[in-house]
Amino acid sequence: MSRPAYASIDLDALRGNYAVAKRVHGGRVLAVLKADAYGHGATACARALAGRVDGYAVAFLDEGLALREAGIDAPILVLEGAFDAEETRVALRHGVWLVVHRHDQIAWIAEAAGDAVADAIPACAATGLQVWLKVDSGMHRAGFIGAEVQAAYHALQAIPAVSGITLMTHFARADEPDSEMTTAQTQAFHAATAGLAGSRSLCNSAGLAAWPDARQDWGRAGIMLYGVDPLPTATPGLRPVMTLRSEIIGVRELGAGEPVGYGATFITSRATRVGLVAMGYADGYPRNAPNGTPVAIDGRPGRLIGRVSMDMLTVDLTDHPQAGIGSSVELWGAQVPVSDVARAAGTIAYEILSNVKRVRRVYET
């Protein structure tokens, strides 16, 4: 028998969440599959969405090439863009769309086009090279600012192989509906791109959910694709895609005043049944999850006790007399929202989902 820790991936929920993003946005939507689809498995997720998705987005070229090698022929956007001239040539050869956020990336595209590499673009991008020009509208992480936008746009427009330019930006505080920064960024974006032809893309998941005035031609569905609400309030229709599960592999009876786990961070206050679970931080469960972090034991609410170790963690079975060795433990999923676990651990769902590793993935179609 194999170790009982595994991540169940509900591909029907994934498809449903993409449909929610499309419905909310009202336009085309990229499914963001960076970081191995936030820990869910990029190839499996891409295949599950095939035929209904407008395109995919990844962080860097190797992630996109892996999808191409898996037979994914839909548009793929590389959000970080190319890192050098050779990567630009490879991207063009495989029909991968590139974000451009600095001047030398434009020069690399012109050089690659001059080498006639663009002639090798496959059928999925046969109309020519699509470039996404990134505008820094106030986040100040990457992109062209102010008058630079117009200059970069016209430099790209002068390259014959470039058949389309999408103007994009990224919001810093879209998950804060009361913040004025998203409105300010939207206005700055429109001012910088005034008079320029081409599609627009402003919204990440939080932008799609909370900022209707920013919904333009292309949306970019990231965390919401995996069923995690990007806002403090609920977005109707989202379902969790990943359920992280394991089992009780040992039970110990302790009296009051006894320590549990590394550092003795939990001391029993009463006679306590302690369940040992095959799951640890090497699997991606957050090491700093505190005592009381929610779990579900045989479908009933439970709690973590003691410090999470590399391969194991412990839960309180005192109020679960039916539970014992072999009992199911949900670490997050339909019963235990991953955002609740993240909040308890002082982080965000993005981080703990993308940290999932070592455990088996079981795909439900």
Active site residue 34: yes
- C-alpha pair distances (Å), 200 with each of 190, 197, 203: 10, 9, 9
Percent helix / strand / coil, the chain, rounded to 5: 35, 25, 40
The first and second tokens of residue 47, run together, are 């295949």
Alpha carbons 334 and 146: distance in angstroms, whole number: 45
Rg of the Cα atoms in the chain: 23
Active site residue 357: no
Alpha carbons 150 and 8: distance in angstroms, whole number: 47
What is the H or E stretch that residue 154 is in?
helix 147-157
Neighbours of 199 (CB within 10 A): 16
Neighbours of 216 (CB within 10 A): 23
Catalytic residue selected from 22, 34, 134, 153: 34
Alpha carbons 97 and 81: distance in angstroms, whole number: 9
Which residues carry out catalysis?
34, 262
